[in-house]
A and B are shown apart, each in its own frame.
Chain A
Amino acid sequence: MKILFFGSLTDIIGVADLCLNGITDTDALQQFLKAQYPMLSSAKYFIAVNQKMISANTPLKTSDTVALMPPFSGG
């Protein structure tokens, strides 16, 4: 599956997208990412699966695109 990162999260991950497989749901995805990128633990963001924001743990398929979107404040 494809994971997209936006705004300040690309500074933490170092890239704007990752391809990951074998992750079953969004909780497992977050756990994996936070272990790999510790600074993600204190970042604020919402998660969208296939361009729809989620409000609870959501199962993931290989064909899914997941987005992690942080807030921006510049103007």
Chain B
Amino acid sequence: MSNNERYSRQMILPGFGLAAQEKLRAAKVLLVGLGGLGCPALQYLVGAGVGSIGIMDADKVSISNLHRQLLYSETDIGQLKTTVAAKKISEQNAAISIEIYAYAINKQNALQIIKDYDLVIDGTDNFSAKYLINDACVLLNKPWIYGAVYRYEGHVSVFNLGSLPLTQPLINYRDIFPQKPYNGEIASCEAAGVLGVIPGIIGTMQAAEAIKIITGIGKPLYGRMFNYNLLEGNSYEIEMVKIKDAPTIDQAFFNTMNTDISAVVDCDALDIDIEEIDTASFIQLRTNPNVFVLDVRERHEYPAIDFSHAQIPMSELRQAIFDLPEKELCIICHQGIRSIYAGQLIRAKRNLKVYSLKGGLTAYFNKVKA
């Protein structure tokens, strides 16, 4: 009776009722990432009565999380997100069964963990994790709910949703974006900035999609990419199709891909400050004979640049750090994110003056063209 009272406001909804509530109670949802997307998604799943929830995150609460991850308080700083989240949601709804995974998803654990759940909500903040979740869900025939933000915009979509036997191949993330961007190619929240309500809105929409899929109400965002723009106050929806040269995801593909996930960052280098210079300073600096201009983009990246420089792709940089000349280094890349990371890797090993071109070649070409 108390449960009927707790959920009465949603159970009286047309098309919902006891049957939908029972489906929620029986459902098992894995939430990967307890950040800006994961916190609101988790709170609404718990509120709605999703019976079993797995929460997965290796991070600890930090002060810069608090403006958007409203599950955490100042007194939680330094504690594992999974520990804090489990405590708060058990206070919110003691009937929910919580499974804690206080580590990051990786190639070794993904299949083993995901296989026990009905669906996965992606609350991660990096491409390596998103591609890994996608590939694992395709192998295991599980739907997953994608969410991601960029500055004032957000994406929501559902991938790989369909029941067996399949009448046609399901749309997955690699059908839309077959190739994973390089680390730092597209700015993260940390680098690009984020307003707290954006992941709040997107994470809440992900919870809404989960509730729809579990209960069977409404029309899931499967096969559709929903783009929300906070500044414009509008949204744009795109119907997705499978591209022709999308890869086939099988066990062999899974084994050869997703190799970089545990080696994304060298934590000890990340505290080093790298001085950023604007395009005008860069144009002056690059003619100085004591300055060595280093392009860390991969070899197949465009456009070509017409000034003298050396190229050592980020993927080869670690092996080449001691081959760099005793000069001041000015590092350039696509958006000015990888170049900072490259500078940190170099400074961790070499005592060289290092600059990073702010905004990367994107800013450079915009300035030169103007």
Contact = CB atoms under 8 A, between A and B. Distances in A.
A44 B181 contact: yes
A73 B183 CA distance: 10
Contacts of A46: 176-177, 243
B307 interface: no
A42 B188 contact: no
A14 interface: yes
A46 B227 CA distance: 13
B186 A70 contact: yes
A42 B296 CA distance: 14
A38 B186 contact: no
B125 A51 contact: no
B227 A53 contact: no
Interface residues of A, number: 30
Interface in A61-75: 67, 69-75
Interface in B165-207: 176-177, 179, 181, 185-189, 192, 194, 199
A73 B236 contact: no
B49 interface: no
Interface stretch (B16-24, B144-152, B272-280, B314-322): B144-152
Given A39-B334, A42-B303, A71 B148 contact: yes
A52 B242 CA distance: 11
Nearest to B246: A55
A26 interface: no
B194 A74 contact: yes
B148 A55 contact: no
B143 interface: no
Nearest to B32: A75
A74 B302 contact: no
A29 to B, nearest CB: 16
A8 B109 CA distance: 32
Contacts of B149: 72, 74-75
A55 B241 CA distance: 7
A2 to B, nearest CB: 12
Given A12-B362, A75-B147, A44 B239 contact: no
B240 A75 contact: no
B35 interface: yes
Among A8, A55, A71, max chain B CB count under 10 A is at A71
A4 interface: yes
Interface in A29-58: 37-39, 41-42, 44, 46, 48, 51-56
A11 B126 contact: no
B126 A69 contact: no
B176 A8 contact: no
Nearest to B36: A75
A51 B303 contact: no
Contacts of A52: 238-239, 241
Contacts of A48: 238-239
B155 A72 contact: yes
Interface string B115-155: 00000001111110010000000000000000111110111
Nearest to B232: A16
Contacts of B240: 53
Contacts of B148: 71-75
A6 B153 contact: yes
A75 B125 contact: yes
14 contacts: A14-B366, A38-B303, A39-B303, A46-B177, A51-B237, A55-B244, A69-B227, A71-B181, A72-B149, A73-B126, A74-B148, A74-B150, A74-B187, A75-B124
Interface of A: 4, 6-8, 11-12, 14, 16, 37-39, 41-42, 44, 46, 48, 51-56, 67, 69-75
